[in-house]
């Protein structure tokens, strides 16, 4: 199945932390026998309202394929990361 993921990474994370987190997400997908087709860094954007007392963060989009049964494991991994303020995972058409 094809998916799109947008991750909002805390502005308190430095560039090295953001790169490390992006690589960790890619490695997790490939370790679950998925395939990352695209990674797009949208850069730092302002929020309409504060999230966890922050007003801006770095947005990164991932396009990937992964077996449906392994999606729950992947979601749990995303939720365990403190530097990820929010994420949105949708099935791509």
The reported pLDDT for the residue numbered 7 is 96
**Token output for 26:** 């890619």
Q: Does the pTM exceed 0.85? A: yes
d(CA 42, CA 29): 20
**pLDDT tens-digit profile of 41-76?**
999 999 999 998 999 999 999 999 999 899 999 999
Provide the pairing of β-strand 35-51 with 84-91: unpaired
**Helix or strand (DSSP H, E) at 32:** none
- Cβ atoms of residues 1 and 90 within 8 Å: no
- Could you give all domains of the chain from N- to C-terminal order, each with its CATH number? 2-88 (3.30.70.60)
**pLDDT tens-digit profile of 14-45?**
889 999 999 999 999 999 999 999 999 999 99
């Amino acid at each position: 199945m094809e998916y799109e993921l947008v991750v909002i990474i805390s502005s308190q994370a430095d560039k090295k932390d953001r790169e490390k987190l992006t690589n960790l997400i890619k490695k997790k997908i490939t370790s679950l026998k998925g395939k990352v087709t695209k990674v797009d860094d949208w850069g730092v954007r302002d929020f309409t309202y504060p999230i966890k007392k922050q007003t801006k963060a770095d947005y990164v989009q991932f396009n990937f394929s992964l077996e449906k049964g392994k999606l729950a494991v992947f979601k749990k991994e995303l939720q365990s990361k403190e530097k990820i303020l929010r994420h949105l995972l949708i099935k791509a058409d």
